Chain A
Amino acid sequence: MQLWLIPILPLAGFLINGIFGRRFSKGMVNAIAIGSVVFSFAWVLKTLLALDLGHTYTERYFTWIQSGALQINAEFAVDRLTAIMLLVVTGVGSLIHIYSIGYMAHEGGYYRFFAYLNLFMFFMLTLVLAANYLVLFVGWEGVGLCSYLLIGFYFDKKFATDAGNKAFIVNRIGDFGFSLAVFLIVRNFGTLDFHGVFAQASGASEATLTTIGLLLMVGACGKSAQIPLYVWLPDAMAGPTPVSALIHAATMVTAGVYMTSRSWPILTHAPAAMETIAVIGVATAFFAATIGLAQNDIKKVFAYSTVSQLGYMFLGVGCGAFSAGIYHLMTHAFFKALLFLGSGSVIHALSGEQDLRHMGGLRKKTPWTFATMMCAAVAIAGVPPFAGFFSKDAILIAAYAHAPWMYWLGTLTAGMTAFYVFRAMFLAFFGEYRGHEHPHESPPVMLIPLAILALLSLAGGFLFRVPAFLSSFFPAQEVPENPALMGVSIFAGLFGIFLAWVMYVAKPGMADSFADSVKGLYTLVYNKYFVDEIYGAAVVTPVVEGSRAALWKGVDVAIIDGAANGIGSTASGVGGVLRLLQSGSIRSYATWVLLGSVVVILGIEFAGGVR
Chain B
Amino acid sequence: MNNESTGKDPQNQKWRIVCYVNQFFGQVGGEEKADCGFMVKQGPVGPVRLLHWFLEGDGEVVATVICGDNYIARNLEQAVEEGLKIIADLQPSLFFSGPAFNAGRYGVACGAIASAVQERLGIPAITGLFPENPGAEMYRKRAWVVKTGGNAAHMKEAMGTMAGMARKLMKKEPLGSPAKEGYLPRGFLKNEAIGKTAAIRGIEMLLDKVASRPFKTELQIPTFEEIEPAPPIKDIKAARIAMVSDGGVVPKGNPDGMKVSQNTVWASYNLGDIFAKPFQIVHSGYHPTEVRENLNRLLPLDVLKEMEAEGEFASLLPVFFSCSGNTTTVQSARDMGRGIAQKLVDEGVRGVILTST
Question: Does A pair with B?
Answer: no
* Chain B positions near chain A (C-beta within 8 angstroms): none
* Chain A positions near chain B (C-beta within 8 angstroms): none
